[in-house]
Amino acid sequence: MRLMVVGARSDALAHLLEKEGIDVSCLPHDALAGGEGEVGQIAAEMRAFEGLLSDGAVDGVAVWGSSNPALAAVLVATKLRVPVAAIEGRGDGNDRASQLNRRLIDQLADAAVADHAAAIAAWLRGACDRGG
């Protein structure tokens, strides 16, 4: 099973998920350059994620946080029918944009999962068993 993890803790979480038998790819930071202003940034990130997710390279996406890259990943994954989990207890900002992103992510995510590798792995296995 393959999972893309997006967010501030993605590298640390990837190591733990690999111990659970999950093949993890983390957000490729250099693939998300571009875009002027906040809307331009989100649009550029969506194009980058569409390229990363459209070839069936992952079985699910897990997002930690309410950043613009996290929102872009959720929007694209939802469009492509890739299962999405929002990791609970994420370090969200308190500014208006973060609050809006958080609300959108929570509405679009297929599940909210605990910030533990075993819980995320169990969610991904269940999503794969259900066919997405």
112-127 pLDDT tens trace: 999 899 999 999 999 9
What pLDDT shows up at residue 51? 87
Question: Which residue is associated with the tokens 């259900």?
Answer: 130
53-83 pLDDT tens trace: 887 889 999 998 888 889 999 999 999 999 9
Look at 107 and 29; give whichever has higher pLDDT.
Answer: 107
4-22 pLDDT tens trace: 998 866 777 888 999 999 9
Domains of the chain: 2-129 (3.40.50.2000)
Compute CA distances 24 → 11, 103, 126, 131, whole Å: 9, 26, 17, 19
pTM over 0.85: yes
Return the closest-CA partner of residue 6 out of 97, 70, 86. Answer: 70
